[in-house]
Protein backbone atom coordinates (compact mmCIF):
# COMPACT_ATOMS: atom_id res chain seq x y z
CA UNK A 1 0.00 0.00 0.00
CA UNK A 2 1.33 3.41 -0.94
CA UNK A 3 2.52 5.61 1.89
CA UNK A 4 1.84 8.62 -0.33
CA UNK A 5 -1.15 8.40 -2.67
CA UNK A 6 -0.36 8.29 -6.35
CA UNK A 7 -1.56 11.39 -8.20
CA UNK A 8 -4.66 10.82 -10.29
CA UNK A 9 -4.18 11.44 -14.00
CA UNK A 10 -7.24 13.70 -14.19
CA UNK A 11 -5.95 15.85 -11.33
CA UNK A 12 -2.44 16.60 -12.62
CA UNK A 13 -1.41 20.25 -12.68
CA UNK A 14 0.22 21.78 -15.79
CA UNK A 15 3.78 20.88 -14.80
CA UNK A 16 2.81 17.31 -13.93
CA UNK A 17 0.77 16.96 -17.15
CA UNK A 18 3.73 18.09 -19.30
CA UNK A 19 6.01 15.44 -17.78
CA UNK A 20 3.26 12.81 -17.87
CA UNK A 21 2.69 13.46 -21.59
CA UNK A 22 6.44 13.36 -22.33
CA UNK A 23 6.80 9.99 -20.60
CA UNK A 24 3.74 8.54 -22.34
CA UNK A 25 4.98 9.70 -25.76
CA UNK A 26 8.49 8.32 -25.15
CA UNK A 27 10.05 4.88 -25.52
CA UNK A 28 8.21 3.49 -22.52
CA UNK A 29 4.84 4.25 -24.12
CA UNK A 30 3.16 4.27 -20.71
CA UNK A 31 3.40 6.06 -17.38
CA UNK A 32 4.07 3.45 -14.72
CA UNK A 33 3.12 4.01 -11.10
CA UNK A 34 6.80 4.63 -10.34
CA UNK A 35 6.61 7.80 -12.44
CA UNK A 36 3.22 8.70 -11.03
CA UNK A 37 4.88 8.69 -7.60
CA UNK A 38 7.76 10.82 -8.87
CA UNK A 39 5.25 13.28 -10.36
CA UNK A 40 4.74 14.67 -6.84
CA UNK A 41 7.90 16.55 -7.87
CA UNK A 42 7.48 17.15 -11.61
CA UNK A 43 10.99 18.48 -12.20
CA UNK A 44 12.49 15.47 -10.43
CA UNK A 45 10.23 13.12 -12.38
CA UNK A 46 11.28 14.71 -15.65
CA UNK A 47 15.00 14.56 -14.93
CA UNK A 48 14.79 11.02 -13.53
CA UNK A 49 12.84 9.68 -16.49
CA UNK A 50 15.22 11.27 -19.00
CA UNK A 51 18.25 9.81 -17.23
CA UNK A 52 16.42 6.48 -17.09
CA UNK A 53 15.84 6.50 -20.85
CA UNK A 54 19.55 7.02 -21.46
CA UNK A 55 20.68 4.40 -18.94
CA UNK A 56 18.13 1.83 -20.04
CA UNK A 57 18.23 2.23 -23.81
CA UNK A 58 21.21 4.28 -24.96
CA UNK A 59 24.40 3.21 -23.19
CA UNK A 60 27.23 1.24 -24.75
CA UNK A 61 26.14 -1.85 -22.79
CA UNK A 62 23.97 -4.50 -24.45
CA UNK A 63 20.49 -4.92 -22.98
CA UNK A 64 21.26 -8.30 -21.39
CA UNK A 65 24.11 -6.72 -19.39
CA UNK A 66 22.16 -3.64 -18.35
CA UNK A 67 19.25 -5.79 -17.27
CA UNK A 68 21.55 -8.12 -15.33
CA UNK A 69 22.77 -5.09 -13.37
CA UNK A 70 19.18 -3.92 -12.83
CA UNK A 71 18.00 -7.33 -11.59
CA UNK A 72 21.01 -7.65 -9.30
CA UNK A 73 20.17 -4.22 -7.90
CA UNK A 74 16.48 -5.10 -7.54
CA UNK A 75 17.44 -8.26 -5.64
CA UNK A 76 19.77 -6.30 -3.36
CA UNK A 77 16.94 -3.89 -2.43
CA UNK A 78 14.17 -6.54 -2.48
CA UNK A 79 12.31 -4.45 -5.01
CA UNK A 80 9.65 -6.71 -6.49
CA UNK A 81 8.27 -3.84 -8.56
CA UNK A 82 11.64 -3.23 -10.21
CA UNK A 83 12.09 -6.98 -10.66
CA UNK A 84 8.60 -7.37 -12.17
CA UNK A 85 9.31 -5.03 -15.07
CA UNK A 86 12.94 -5.91 -15.67
CA UNK A 87 12.78 -9.70 -15.64
CA UNK A 88 10.83 -9.58 -18.90
CA UNK A 89 13.29 -7.08 -20.37
CA UNK A 90 16.23 -9.27 -19.36
CA UNK A 91 14.75 -12.33 -21.06
CA UNK A 92 13.87 -10.33 -24.17
CA UNK A 93 17.41 -8.90 -24.19
CA UNK A 94 18.98 -12.36 -24.23
CA UNK A 95 19.86 -12.99 -20.59
CA UNK A 96 19.48 -16.71 -19.85
CA UNK A 97 16.60 -17.79 -17.63
CA UNK A 98 18.92 -19.81 -15.36
CA UNK A 99 20.94 -16.66 -14.63
CA UNK A 100 17.79 -14.72 -13.77
CA UNK A 101 16.61 -17.55 -11.50
CA UNK A 102 19.96 -17.68 -9.70
CA UNK A 103 19.99 -13.91 -9.10
CA UNK A 104 16.39 -14.07 -7.79
CA UNK A 105 17.30 -16.85 -5.35
CA UNK A 106 20.45 -15.08 -4.17
CA UNK A 107 22.83 -17.64 -5.64
CA UNK A 108 25.82 -16.80 -7.79
CA UNK A 109 24.87 -17.66 -11.37
CA UNK A 110 26.88 -20.03 -13.54
CA UNK A 111 28.03 -17.72 -16.34
CA UNK A 112 29.16 -18.85 -19.76
CA UNK A 113 29.99 -15.28 -20.79
CA UNK A 114 32.81 -13.27 -19.22
CA UNK A 115 30.94 -9.98 -19.73
CA UNK A 116 27.95 -11.22 -17.71
CA UNK A 117 30.22 -12.50 -14.93
CA UNK A 118 31.98 -9.13 -14.84
CA UNK A 119 28.74 -7.13 -14.62
CA UNK A 120 27.38 -9.38 -11.89
CA UNK A 121 30.58 -9.31 -9.83
CA UNK A 122 30.95 -5.54 -10.15
CA UNK A 123 27.31 -4.87 -9.31
CA UNK A 124 27.27 -7.25 -6.32
CA UNK A 125 30.53 -5.95 -4.86
CA UNK A 126 29.52 -2.34 -5.36
CA UNK A 127 26.19 -2.88 -3.63
CA UNK A 128 27.34 -5.25 -0.90
CA UNK A 129 30.72 -3.74 -0.05
CA UNK A 130 30.05 -0.17 -1.19
CA UNK A 131 33.17 -0.59 -3.34
CA UNK A 132 34.47 -3.08 -5.89
CA UNK A 133 37.90 -4.63 -5.50
CA UNK A 134 40.62 -3.56 -7.91
CA UNK A 135 40.54 -7.03 -9.47
CA UNK A 136 36.79 -6.89 -10.10
CA UNK A 137 36.91 -3.31 -11.32
CA UNK A 138 39.83 -3.90 -13.68
CA UNK A 139 38.24 -7.05 -15.11
CA UNK A 140 35.11 -5.10 -15.99
CA UNK A 141 37.10 -2.11 -17.22
CA UNK A 142 39.02 -4.34 -19.64
CA UNK A 143 35.72 -5.49 -21.14
CA UNK A 144 33.69 -2.27 -21.15
CA UNK A 145 36.23 0.57 -21.32
CA UNK A 146 36.02 3.91 -19.56
CA UNK A 147 32.61 4.94 -20.90
CA UNK A 148 31.09 1.54 -20.21
CA UNK A 149 32.30 1.54 -16.61
CA UNK A 150 30.93 5.03 -15.96
CA UNK A 151 27.62 4.03 -17.54
CA UNK A 152 27.43 0.77 -15.57
CA UNK A 153 28.18 2.51 -12.28
CA UNK A 154 25.54 5.17 -12.93
CA UNK A 155 23.05 2.50 -14.03
CA UNK A 156 23.49 0.75 -10.67
CA UNK A 157 23.09 4.04 -8.81
CA UNK A 158 20.00 5.03 -10.78
CA UNK A 159 18.25 1.72 -10.08
CA UNK A 160 19.17 2.04 -6.38
CA UNK A 161 17.32 5.37 -6.42
CA UNK A 162 14.37 3.76 -8.19
CA UNK A 163 14.27 0.82 -5.76
CA UNK A 164 14.36 3.16 -2.77
CA UNK A 165 11.56 5.26 -4.25
CA UNK A 166 9.43 2.18 -4.87
CA UNK A 167 10.14 0.55 -1.51
CA UNK A 168 9.93 3.58 0.75
CA UNK A 169 6.77 5.03 -0.75
CA UNK A 170 5.09 1.63 -1.08
CA UNK A 171 4.41 1.79 -4.80
CA UNK A 172 2.25 -1.29 -5.41
CA UNK A 173 2.85 -3.96 -8.00
CA UNK A 174 0.48 -3.92 -10.95
CA UNK A 175 -2.86 -5.54 -10.20
CA UNK A 176 -2.61 -9.32 -10.25
CA UNK A 177 1.19 -9.41 -10.10
CA UNK A 178 2.81 -11.55 -7.42
CA UNK A 179 5.99 -10.37 -5.67
CA UNK A 180 9.07 -12.19 -6.97
CA UNK A 181 11.18 -11.15 -3.99
CA UNK A 182 10.63 -11.05 -0.23
CA UNK A 183 9.39 -7.70 1.07
CA UNK A 184 12.07 -5.13 1.91
CA UNK A 185 13.29 -5.36 5.48
CA UNK A 186 12.36 -9.02 5.91
Rounded alpha-carbon distances, angstroms, from residue 7 to 28, 62, 108: 19, 34, 39
pLDDT tens figures, 28-67: 889 999 999 999 999 999 999 999 999 999 999 999 999 9
For the chain, what are the domain ranges? 9-57, 63-168
For the domain bounded by 63-168, which CATH number is listed?
1.20.1290.10
pLDDT tens figures, 162-177: 999 999 999 999 999 9
Q: What is the pLDDT of residue 59?
A: 97
Q: Is 8 in a helix, a strand, or coil?
A: coil
Q: What is the pLDDT of residue 185?
A: 82
End-to-end CA distance of the chain: 16
pLDDT tens figures, 4-32: 999 999 999 999 999 999 999 998 889 99
For the CA atoms of the chain, what is the radius of gyration? 17
Check residue 75 and report its DSSP letter.
Answer: H
Amino acid sequence: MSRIPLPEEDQLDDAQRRVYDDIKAGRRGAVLDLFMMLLHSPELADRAQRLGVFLRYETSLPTRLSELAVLTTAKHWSSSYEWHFHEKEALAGGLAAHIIAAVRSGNAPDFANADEAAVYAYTRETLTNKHASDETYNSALALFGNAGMVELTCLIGYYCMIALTLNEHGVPLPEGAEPALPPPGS
